Chains A and B, each alone.
Chain A
Amino acid sequence: MTAVTTRPGLAPRLTALTKIVELGPGRLDQKVLSEASALLTRAGDRLKLSSEHTVVALAGGTGSGKSSLFNAISGLELSPTGVRRPTTARTHACVWGLEGAAPLLDWLQIQWRHRFARASALDKGESQLHGLILLDLPDHDSIRALTDTEADRLIGLADLVVWVLDPQKYADASTHRRYVTDLAGHDAMTVFALNQADKLSTEELAELVIDLNDLLRREGVEHPSVVPTSAVSGRGIDSLKSVISGAVSRRRAAIHKIEADLRRLERRLTETMPVGEALSAPASVDEARRLGLTDALCDAVGVPAVGEAMENVYAERSSRWVGWPYPRWLAKFRPDPLKSLRLEDVSDEIRGITTGSVSAQAAEVSNAVQALADGLTVGMHPVWRTAVHRAARSRSSQLPKVLTEDLTEVAPELDRVPGWWRILKIWQYLLVGAFIGGLAWLAVGLTVPGQLPASLQLLGDSAALPWVGLMMASVLGLGALSGIASRNFVVLGASRERERLEREMRRRVAAVSETMVVEPVERELGRHHAFYSAMRGLSG
C-alpha cells in the first residue's frame, strides 16, 4: 500500500490525456479512445468529489462471501447473506463519516435504500476508518452477471478493490482472466482477501496462500497483498480492516487509483500507437521537400519545356525580322509540301500561335503530391500516414486548375516583337536598298556610260565602278554579318527571357503549392506531433 514512487503530478498527465482524447478521433482505435475519454471523465468526476472519502469495493465471485465480509467489517448485518447463488444483486454501501459522501454515492449510482452509514463510528474506536465508503458488489461470474455489468462498472470506479476469493474459486478464470491480468500496476489499489479460511487447516491455508501468491505474480501483480480472512470466525478481519484503514487515512487512494489507471491506459495506448520514433518524424515540411514538390509540380506544368519552346519559337520567329533577308526570299520559291496537301491553313495556324499555353497535367500533379506525402510519412503509423496523405490531397482536385490559371498569367507571348528587331529589319532593308542601288549604278556605268546627263555623269565614271562593286560586296557581307550577330543577340535575349520566365513560374508554383498542399500537410504533421508529445507527456 505504500511505496508510491513520486511521479510527475497528476494534472499535467491528465492534460496530456485531454490532448490525446481531443486529437484522437479518427486516428486512435475507437475502443481505446472511448476508454481514454471514459477515464478522463471518471478522473475528472472523482477528483471533483469528496477527497475525504475512499471508495473500497468488495468484489469477487458468487459465494465467496463478499456480503459476509462486508457485514463483518461494518460490524452490522447490512447486506443480506445467504446460500442461494447469486445472493447480492444490487450494490450495498456503508459509509464511515457522512458529510460530503452523498454526491460521491450518487456518482457511484448506489440506490438510496442500499446506503448505510456508520455515523457513530467514532465511538467504536474506528476513527481510522473515517472516510471509508465500503461497497458490497454483486458477483461478476454467475449467470446473472452475464447480463449485468454493475460489478464491472464499480470495480472500475472504486479507489481500492478488495478481491474476495475463497478456497474453491480462487483460481477461476472468470476472475483472473477478466480482471487480475489487467491489474498490473494496480498493486497498491488491490487487496486479495482469501476468505473462508476457516474451512481449511493451517497447513492447507499456508499452501493455498503460497499458491495464490505465485499465481498472482505470474499474472503480473508484483506485490500481491493477500489477507486470509474468515467472516465466520472473524479471523483476519482486523488485518483487512487495518489494510483498508491504511488506505483510508492517507486519503490518497483515489489519486493512486487514477494514476494506476492512467498507467494502464498508457500501456494500452502505446500498444496501439507506440511512440517510438514518431516524435522524430518531421513536424513541418522542410526546405528540401518544398523544393522537391515545387520541382515536381513545375514538371507537371512543363515549365522547362515551356521555356525551351519559347526560346526556340523566338529564335525561329526572329529570323523573319532580323535575319539576312535573301535566304528567306529564296525559301519562298521552294514549293511547300503542305500546300500540295491543301493544308496551307495549318502552317498559318502554327504561325498564328501567339501565346505559349501553359497547363498542368492532373496525373502528374497528383503523383507529385503523393510523393511528398510518401516521403514525409516514412515510418509513421499507418493511421497517421493515411491522415497525412489525405491532408496532402485535400485540395488536389483543384490544384491543376489553380496552377493552370495562375501560370497562364505569365505565359510567354510568342508574337512579341522587340523594337530593336524592327530597327534591325530597317537596317537590313537599308542594306538591301544599298545593294540594289549599287547594282543599278553598276548596270548604268557598264552599259550606257556615254549617254548620261551631266548631273549623273558620276555614274558613268568608270573609275568609280570597282569601288561600287566593293561597296556592294561589303553591303552583302554587312547584311550577313548583322544577320548572324542579331540572331545571336536574339538567342541570348531569349535565354535570358527564359530564365526570367522560369523563375517567375517557379515562384508562382511554389506559392500555390504552399497554400494548397504544404499548409494542410503541416497542419496534420503538427497534429501528429502534438499527439505524440501528449503521449510522451502522459507517461511523464
Chain B
Amino acid sequence: MNTAMDDGRQESPGEQTLSFRAFTDESAAPPAASAADEEGPVPASASAGEPADSGASPSGDEPSDEGDKPSDEPEAPSDEPEALSDEQPSAEPEAPSDEQPSDEPEALSDEPEVPSDEQPSGEPEALSDEEALGGAEASFDEEPSGDAEALSEAEAWAELMESAALSDPGGGEPADDDLRLADDEPEGPAAVRPEPSAWHFPDPQAEQGSDDSRTGQVSDAQAVHAEPVEPAAPARPVGAEQAAVERPPVRRVEPLPPEMVAALTAALDALRESVTDLRFGLDLPGAAEARQARADLLAQLKDYVLPRVRTNTAPALIVVAGSTGAGKSTLVNSLAEKNISRTGVRRPTTGIPVLVCHPDDRQWFTKGDLLGGMRRIDKPSPEDGIGSLVVVATEKLPQGVALLDTPDIDSVVEEHHEIAHRMLDAADLWIFVTTAARYADAPAWNLLRLAKERGARLAIVLSRVQPKAREVVLKHFGRMLSEYGLGEVDRFVIGETKVVDGRLPDHEMTDLRLWLAELSVDEDRRAQAVHETLNGVLDSFRTRVPALARHLEGQVAFRTELRADVEAAYMSALAEIDKATRNGMLVHGEVLARWQDFAGSGDLMRTIQFRKRGRSGRQAPERVTAFRAALRAGLESVIVAAAHRAAEEVVARWRHRSELGGTIGAGLERPSDELVRHATRAIAAWQEHVTELVRTEGVAKRSVSKFVSFDADSLSLIFMVAMFSGGTVEGVPHRLVNALLGAESLRGIGAKALSDLRARIGMLFDEESMRYVQALDSAGIPDESTATRLYQATYNLEVAR
C-alpha cells in the first residue's frame, strides 16, 4: 500500500486523532472523492468535536480527550463516507492548517503529484489514503516510541521490578521505579495509551487500497500560502483537475531563448575557466574542503550545468540516492521492471552508477555532454572502476525521464560517497531513499540539507516500513522534515515486503510509477522541475563561488602574513647587527685582546712613520693578520647568531600562526649551511673594501701626509675598531684615525663602510629569507587576481541570467 506521508504538523500534536484521506472514490464517485480529498485529514470525531484543538494545541495535554477517542477511531475507516459529510462544516476553521479542498487546484500547479490523480491515462482513480496522524509525540528525542506496546511493557516490567529493584538510596521500591519510568516518557502513559487501537487501522486499509492507492500529496505549506488566493472553495468541481493542468505554472517554462543560452554559456564558461585556475596550495584549515568544493563545482559545471543550459529540453535525469541498504537498486529495478542493477544483502551493494532510460532517450545519455566525464558501459563488470556509468534502456520507463541508481552515501566505501555526490550534482530531480530504520541517520540529513541548499527538486521515498510501525514512523519522519523546512517535499512510502528477484511487488510501486509517468507526459512540469533545479544550482553558485574566492583570499592573506613574518624576523636581525656594530659589543673578547696586543706591543706605533723613511715596513704581519682575522670572526659570529635567531623566530612565528606554518617551516629553523661560508666571504670582502677606502680616500689631511705615512692595512683595522667601538667614544683608535685622516674624510669613509657592510649583510639575509619564500612558493602560490576574477565571473553569470 502506498501512502503519502503527511508531516503531522497540521494536526495538533496533542490530538490522538487519526485522520486520513481515503479516496474511496472509484471513477464512479468523483464528487465523494474530491470531498474526501478536501477533508482528508480531518477526523470525524476530533475535528468536529474540537476544532480549536486541531489547530493549535501544542502538545499532548489532553489525556482525557484522548481517552475516549480511541473508541471512535477504529471505526474511522469504515466511516469514511459519513465522515466526509460530517467534516464539511468544520472545513473552514481548519483551513489554514489542513489540506483544503480549495487548495487543490492551486496545489496542482506546484505539486505535480496531485494532478496525476487526474491522469489522462485514465487509470482507475487512485485512492489516496492520506493518513495525517495526530500524535502525542511532541518531540522525537527523549520519547520511547510513544506507542502502546511501550506502555504495556512498562506496566509489565513495573511488576517485574518488584523482584528486581536496584538498590537505590532514594527508594528501591518498585513503585518508585515505575514512577521514574513515567518520567522517562514525558508524554506519559496517559498520552500514549489510546494509540494502540488507533494504529491498527492501516492494515485493512492497505488491503482495500493496495492496488491503486494514490498518494495525495498536498503540502500544508502550499496549502497555507495558496489559501488567500482562492479562499475556501467548499468543494472541488470535478473538472478542477483539468483546469489545474491548464493553469499557467508559477514560472513560465519554455525553452530558453537562444541569445540567453549563448550569454549563459559564455558566462558559465568564464566561470569554469576561473574556477579551473584556482589553486589552493596551502593546507590551511578548510583547504581540503575548498579543493573538494572546487572539484565539485567544476564537475557540476561540466557534467550538468553547461550541458543543461545548452540543451534545456533534454530528458530529465532523476537520481536515486540514499543510504546503503535503503533499497535504491531494488527501487530502480522495480520501476524499470528489469534487473538492471544488482541487489543483495551485502553492503554496499552498488558501486557503479546505473542509468536507465527509455530507448528513445538513450542517444542523449550516451552521446550527450551530461556526465561527460564518465565512461559509458553497457554492463557492469568488476573491472570497471570508478568513473564508469552503465546505461541501460528499457521500454518500461516512460520517455523524457531517466533514472540513475547511485552508490550509497554512508557506507565504509568512501569512494561511493563521492560518486553519489557527483551524480546528485548532475541531477534534475533527486529521489532520496531512506528506510524506517535509518531516517534519523546523520548522513541522510546531511544529504537533505545539501538538497535544500542547492534548491534541487526532491522526492523522498521511505522504504522498509513495517505495517505495525507505519503511522508512528511516518508521522515522526514527517515532523522531522517539516521542522527541517522540507515539509512540502513529495513523499512516498514503501512497506517492508518480500523482495522477489530484486524487485518490489507492483502494488508498492504504483504511485511512484504514476509520478514518473506524469513527469514524462507533462512536459511543462518536467521542464519546470528541470529549470527549478538548474536555477537552484545557479543560485547556489552565488554563495559557492564567492566562498571559494574567500578561501583563496584567505590563502593569499595567510601567505602574505607568512611573508611578513620572514621580513620582520630578518629586519630585526639586521637591526640587531646594526646595534652590535654601534654599541661596542663587537670590541669584546678576542678583538679586544688583539687590539691590546696590537697597541701594547708597539705595532700600533710602528704603523705610523715619517714619510722620509720610505715605504712602510711590515714589521708584524702575523699580528696584523691575527687582528684582522679576529675582527672578521667577531663580525661573523654576530651575523651568524642573528641569523640563527631570525631563522628560529620565523619558524616560531609560523608555528604560532597555524599548524600549517609549522609544517612549511619544518627543517628551516636553522640558517642554511652556506651561511657561515658566505658570511666569511662577505666580511673579508668588506674588509678589503674598507682598506681600499682608507688607502684611496684617507690620504686627506695635507698637514699630516706631508711628513707622516701610515700602513693602510693596519690603519683600516684601527679604523674598524674605532667604528665598532661606538661613534661617541673618544678612545685611542678614534683619536688616532681622526688625527690621521681628518674628521671629514673619516665621516665619509665611515658612512661608506657602514652602508657597504649593511648592504653585504642584507644580501646575505636576502639569500637566507629566500629559503622561506621558496618553501612558501613550493607549497603553492595562490594567484591573487583569481579571486577577483571569480567575483567578476559570478557577477557576469547573474547578469546573464
Residues of A within 8 A of B (CB): 61-64, 76-78, 80-90, 95, 98, 102, 112-120, 141-146, 166-174, 176-177, 200, 204, 207-208, 211, 215, 219, 299-302, 304-306, 308-309, 312-313, 315-316, 335, 337-338, 340-343, 346-347, 349-350, 353, 356-364, 366-367, 370, 374, 382, 386, 400, 404, 414
Min CB–CB distance A440 → chain B (angstroms): 35
Contact B590 A302 (CB under 8 A): yes
Q: Which residues of A contact B347 (CB under 8 A)?
A: 167-172, 211
A interface footprint on B681-722 (CB within 8 Å = 1, 0 otherwise): 000000000000000000000001001100000000000000
Q: Which residues of A contact B732 (CB under 8 A)?
A: 346, 349-350
Given known pairs A81-B150, A142-B440, A302-B589, the reply for A338 and B605 (CB within 8 Å) is: yes
Sample of 15 more A-B contacts, CB < 8 Å, known A82-B149, A171-B324: A62-B441, A64-B437, A87-B145, A90-B142, A102-B167, A115-B168, A141-B442, A143-B445, A144-B141, A305-B593, A308-B593, A313-B600, A343-B736, A356-B593, A363-B585
* B-chain residues with CB within 8 Å of residue A115 when the two chains form the complex: 166, 168
B→A interface (CB under 8 Å): 137, 140-147, 149-150, 153-154, 156-157, 160-161, 163-168, 170, 177, 180-181, 183-185, 323-326, 344-348, 410-414, 417, 435-443, 445, 464, 466, 468-469, 472-473, 476, 580, 585-586, 588-594, 596-597, 599-602, 604-605, 608-610, 623, 626, 630, 633-634, 637-638, 640-642, 644, 666, 669-670, 704, 707-708, 732, 735-736, 739-740
Contact: B600 with A312, CB < 8 Å? yes
Closest A residue to B740 using CB positions: A341
User: By the criterion CB–CB under 8 Å, are B144 and A95 in contact?
Assistant: no
A357 B592 Cβ-Cβ under 8 A: yes
Judging by beta carbons under 8 Å apart, are A168 and B184 in contact? no
| Cβ-defined contact, A340 with B637, below 8 A | no
CA distance A109 to B163 in the complex (A): 24
A309 and B594 in contact, given A173-B411, A300-B589 (Cβ under 8 angstroms): yes
Q: Is the CB of A367 within 8 A of B640?
A: yes
- Find out whether the CB atom of B599 lies under 8 angstroms from the CB atom of A173: no
Contact A77 B157 (CB under 8 A): yes
Closest chain-A Cβ to B404's Cβ sits at a distance in Å of 22
Q: Separation in Å of the B616 CB from the closest CB of chain A?
A: 11
Instruction: For the complex, give the distance between the alpha carbons of A337 and B436 in Å.
Output: 110
A152 smallest CB distance to B (angstroms) = 13
Quick check: A117 and B166 within 8 Å, CB to CB?
A: yes
- B164–A200 contact, CB under 8 A? no
Inter-chain contact B593/A340, CB cutoff 8 Å: no
Contact of B325 with A169 in the complex, beta carbons under 8 Å: yes
A363 to B157, CA, bound (A): 82
Q: Residue of A at shortest CB range from B600? A: A313
Which residue of A is nearest B464, CB measured? A168
Structural contact, B472 and A83, CB atoms closer than 8 A: yes
Tell me which residues across on chain B come within 8 A of A338, comparing CB atoms.
605, 608
Which residue on B lies nearest to A353, using beta carbons? B600
B177, A113: Cβ atoms closer than 8 Å = yes
A404 to chain B: which residues have CB within 8 Å? 588
Q: Is there an interface contact between A168 and B435, defined as CB atoms closer than 8 Å? A: yes
* Identity of the chain B residue whose Cβ is nearest the Cβ of A165 in the assembled complex: B347
Instruction: List 5 A-B pairs, Cβ < 8 Å.
Output: A84-B143, A116-B166, A167-B345, A305-B590, A361-B590
Beta-carbon contact of A143 and B164 below 8 Å = no
From B145, B417, B585, B630, A83 is in contact (CB under 8 Å) with: B145
Q: How far is the CA of A118 from the CA of B144 in the complex (A)?
A: 22
Q: B588's contact among A313, A359, A366, by CB below 8 Å, is which?
A: A359
Residues of A within 8 A of B145 (CB): 80-84, 87
Contact between chains at B708 and A340 (CB < 8 Å): yes
Within 8 Å by CB of A370, from B346, B626, B644, lies B644
Please determine whether B185 and A80 come into contact, CB atoms closer than 8 angstroms: yes
With a 10 A CB-CB cut-off, give which of A61, A80, A86, A102 has the most chain B CB atoms.
A80
A359: B residues at CB distance < 8 A? 588-589, 592
A-B pairs with lowest CB-CB distance, top 8: A82-B145, A80-B144, A113-B180, A302-B590, A83-B469, A63-B437, A309-B597, A305-B593
Shortest C-beta distance, A123 to chain B (Å), equals: 9
Q: Are A77 and B153 in contact (CB under 8 A)?
A: yes
The answer to whether B325 touches A167 (Cβ under 8 A) is yes
Residue pair A200, B345 in contact (C-beta under 8 Å): yes
Is there contact, CB below 8 Å, between A113 and B183?
Answer: yes
Instruction: Decide if B442 touches A358 in the complex (CB within 8 Å).
Output: no
Minimal Cβ-Cβ distance residue in B for A171: B347
List, in ascending order, chain B residues with CB within 8 A of A304's CB.
590
